[in-house]
């Protein structure tokens, strides 16, 4: 286990290093100088030069890269060109929306997918199974931002149960959760469809195993065998997918935040893009990539801890 | 022929035909505005109603299909064009340094949150259909490389490959003449799935304004435009979304149906 973990840790470090290089280079080749963009086209060249120095843009590329990466490692994400405030603070503030939203959506997805997947597997080939499978087929085909619009149309504009967007802050937790409900449902739906399919196929695979037949032979009913022995074993692949989905939800929230005007990381990225506040774009993207790669790494480790066969592979 | 295959093929054909027809004819002009006739519900004159500029929605859906299909198709082409040769090369040199490099690079791209990177690319290089294609296409490469390598590896152990080797054929030649043709079914199925994911990705990018730019119609932007008008005229928001859902559903059913047809053994097990 120790060797496996070390190997994965090295590959994690390499991934992060390459990711930081790619992101830095992509942003570097972006046309337009932030300093002249901020000051407008009629700005005095001297002023632009001063601002460039102030923003740390006057040193070589390599130096800037090292500054940026070094800063990130110590929690300093740089200073926003537009707002002149530390990016880390802006990110922390936005995470208070994005992180709960992703967790909320993940919870909903699990809550929807587990019963649906188990139900379908238990009724494999019958009408109930076909119904669930048809629903998941539809679920993966629906763009979540469109589903979000339909939710707003129905629950906010027609029924008036929820606001159509915006976020009141965490002072009143109940209102905050209410504001995150429709976005979370919209995010959760396609994920729930995928998860239900994985749950179903994993259970069906497990139910064909010898130990299930043994359990049945010693007198357990189909239902008992499924709940006592099938489910626990079927959960392993499901947990991997959940790990992958969490990072997807965090990143996927970018578009949903646009639909509901939520002040999360997604809106921060889009604002920064329109204002050519590249340091913010760079740092937020790197942070998301970091979150995704790290969650995948932890899932791999957890998986290997549960299933020793995986340590030898790869 | 299964019901899935027929439904999927019919839906896909419908959208392909609509997109093709839009080059020659659409019921209305997609660029001409007619404010007097704006936000009309579906009627005989406008089968799917009109949008906030009074443009015929059916015509926009038809022309928008062109954008969606073109972007997704080229993105699949990029994924296959680069991914398949890489996968073949990796499989032919299994365990070698080339294999190792190709697969590590694949893992790395896989680890990136694709949507975020697509947004980064389109944001930096400017929004537009071409950049959207590149952004979506890059993430198709590892999908095809991995699939190709996995399937090719099991083929390399087969006897007919051994026979080809004994006959003195070179590794690249075996890859091209014997391995690749045997992967065709698999690649077609995966291509269909990636095509549908591409349609969704394009819709998402153009919804946030990073896809095809006006006046090129696109389903995602139609939805973005409709957002503020949902309360006044729900059909403006509902119809483009339905188009996306039906097209994606059609492609997914087609992919599933083809997979069942190519490999009946999977019919039982598939998720």
**CB contact (8 A) between residue A201 and residue B244:** no
Q: Residue B244 is nearest to which of A143, A157, A204, comparing CB atoms?
A: A143
Q: Is residue A4 part of a domain?
A: no
Domain tally for chain B?
1
What is residue B38's predicted lDDT score, i.e. its pLDDT?
74
Q: What is the DSSP string of B40-60?
A: PPS-SSSTT-B-TT--BHHHH
Specify the pTM.
Answer: 0.85
Q: Is residue A232 part of a domain?
A: yes
Q: Is residue A29 part of a domain?
A: no
Query: Backbone dihedral region of A276: left (phi > 0), alpha (psi from -120 to 50 degrees) or beta?
Result: left
**A209 — contact with chain B (CB < 8 Å)?**
no
Interface confidence (ipTM) of the complex = 0.86
**B107 — contact with chain A (CB < 8 Å)?**
yes
A293: tokens are 């790669």
- To probe the interface with A, which of B116, B198, B205 has the most A CB atoms within 10 Å? B116
Residue at token pair 């707002």: A83
**B203 — contact with chain A (CB < 8 Å)?**
yes
Residue-number span of the structural domain to which A96 is assigned: 91-267
A115: tokens are 């019963």
Domain at B136, CATH number: 1.10.3720.10
The nearest CA of chain B is from the CA of A228 a distance in Å of 22
Contacts of B119 in chain A (CB under 8 A): 254, 269, 273
The nearest CA of chain A is from the CA of B66 a distance in Å of 18
Residue-number span of the structural domain to which B205 is assigned: 3-270
**B231 — contact with chain A (CB < 8 Å)?**
yes
Q: Is-contact B208 B215, C-beta < 8 A?
A: no
Residue at token pair 């005989």: B44
| Residue A105: partners with Cβ closer than 8 Å, 6 or more residues away | A183, A184, A185, A187, A188, A191, A249, A253
What is residue B271's predicted lDDT score, i.e. its pLDDT?
41
> Between the CA of residue B266 and those of B259, B262, B270, what are the distances in Å?
8, 9, 6
Residue at token pair 């059909």: B235
- The residues of chain B scoring below 50 in pLDDT are 269-271
How far is it, in rounded angstroms, from Cα A47 to Cα A62? 24
Domain tally for chain A?
1
Q: Is residue A182 part of a domain?
A: yes
Domain at A227, CATH number: 1.10.3720.10
How far is it, in rounded angstroms, from Cα B103 to Cα B147? 11
Contacts of A141 in chain B (CB under 8 A): 196, 244-245, 248-249, 252
How far is it, in rounded angstroms, from Cα A209 to Cα A199? 16
What is residue A239's predicted lDDT score, i.e. its pLDDT?
79
Each of the 314 residues of chain A gets a pLDDT tens digit; together they read 678 888 888 888 888 888 888 888 888 776 666 666 667 767 777 777 777 777 777 777 888 888 888 888 887 887 787 777 888 888 888 888 988 999 999 999 999 999 999 899 888 888 888 889 889 989 889 998 999 999 988 888 888 888 777 788 888 888 888 889 999 999 999 899 999 998 898 888 888 888 888 888 888 887 788 787 877 778 877 877 887 787 778 777 888 888 888 888 888 888 887 777 878 888 888 888 888 888 878 877 877 776 766 665 54
The residues pairing with B50 across neighbouring beta strands, listed in sequence order, are B56
What is residue B89's predicted lDDT score, i.e. its pLDDT?
92
């Amino acid at each position: 286990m120790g060797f496996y973990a070390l190997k994965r840790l090295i590959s994690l470090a390499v991934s992060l290093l390459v990711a930081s290089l790619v992101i830095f280079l992509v942003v570097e080749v972006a046309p337009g100088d932030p300093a002249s963009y901020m000051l407008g086209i009629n700005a005095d060249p001297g002023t632009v030069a001063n601002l460039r120095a102030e923003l740390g843009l006057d040193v070589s590329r390599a130096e800037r890269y090292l500054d940026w990466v070094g800063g990130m490692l110590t929690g300093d994400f740089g200073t926003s060109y537009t707002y002149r405030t530390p990016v880390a603070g802006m990110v922390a503030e936005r995470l208070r929306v994005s992180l709960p939203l992703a967790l909320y959506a993940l919870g909903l997805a699990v809550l929807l997918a587990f019963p649906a997947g188990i139900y379908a597997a238990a009724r494999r080939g019958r009408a109930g199974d076909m119904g669930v499978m048809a629903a998941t087929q539809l679920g993966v085909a629906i763009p979540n931002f469109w589903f979000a619009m339909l939710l707003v149309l129905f629950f906010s504009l027609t029924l008036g149960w929820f606001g159509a967007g915006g976020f009141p802050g965490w002072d009143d937790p109940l209102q905050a959760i209410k504001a995150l409900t429709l976005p979370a449902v919209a995010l959760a739906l396609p994920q729930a469809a995928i998860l239900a399919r994985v749950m179903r196929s994993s259970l069906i695979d497990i139910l064909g195993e010898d130990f299930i037949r043994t359990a049945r032979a010693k007198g357990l009913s189909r239902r008992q065998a499924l709940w006592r022995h099938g489910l626990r074993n079927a959960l392993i692949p499901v947990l991997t997918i959940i790990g992958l989905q969490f990072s997807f939800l965090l990143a996927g929230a970018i578009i949903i935040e646009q639909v509901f005007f939520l002040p999360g990381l997604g809106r921060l990225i889009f604002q920064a893009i329109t204002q050519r506040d590249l340091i913010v774009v760079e740092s937020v993207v790197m942070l998301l990539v970091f979150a995704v790669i790290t969650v995948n790494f932890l899932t791999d480790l957890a998986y290997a801890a549960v299933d020793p066969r995986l340590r030898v592979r790869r | 022929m299964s019901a899935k295959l027929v439904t999927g093929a019919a839906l896909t054909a419908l959208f392909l035909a609509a997109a093709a027809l839009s080059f020659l004819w659409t019921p209305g002009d997609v660029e001409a505005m007619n404010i007097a006739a704006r936000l009309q519900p579906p009627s005989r004159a406008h089968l799917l109603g009109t949008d906030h500029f009074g443009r015929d929605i059916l015509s926009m859906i038809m022309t928008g299909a062109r954008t969606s299909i073109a972007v997704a198709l080229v993105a699949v082409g990029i994924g296959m064009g680069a991914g398949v040769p890489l996968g073949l090369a990796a499989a032919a040199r299994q365990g070698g340094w080339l294999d190792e490099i190709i697969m590590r690079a694949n893992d790395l791209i896989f680890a990136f949150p694709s949507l975020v990177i697509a947004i980064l690319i389109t944001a930096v290089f400017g929004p537009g259909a071409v950049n959207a294609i590149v952004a979506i296409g890059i993430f198709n490469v590892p999908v095809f490389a991995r699939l190709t390598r996995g399937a090719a590896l099991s083929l390399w152990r087969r006897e007919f490959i051994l026979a080809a080797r004994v006959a003195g054929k070179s590794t690249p030649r075996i890859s091209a003449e014997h391995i690749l043709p045997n992967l065709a079914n698999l690649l077609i199925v995966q291509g269909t799935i990636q095509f549908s994911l591409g349609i969704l990705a394009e819709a998402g990018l153009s919804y946030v304004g990073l896809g095809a730019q006006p006046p090129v119609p696109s389903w995602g932007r139609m939805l973005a435009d409709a957002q503020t008008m949902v309360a006044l005229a729900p059909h403006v928001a509902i119809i483009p979304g339905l188009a996306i859902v039906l097209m994606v559903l059609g492609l997914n059913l087609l992919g599933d149906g083809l997979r069942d047809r190519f490999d009946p053994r999977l019919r039982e097990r598939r998720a």
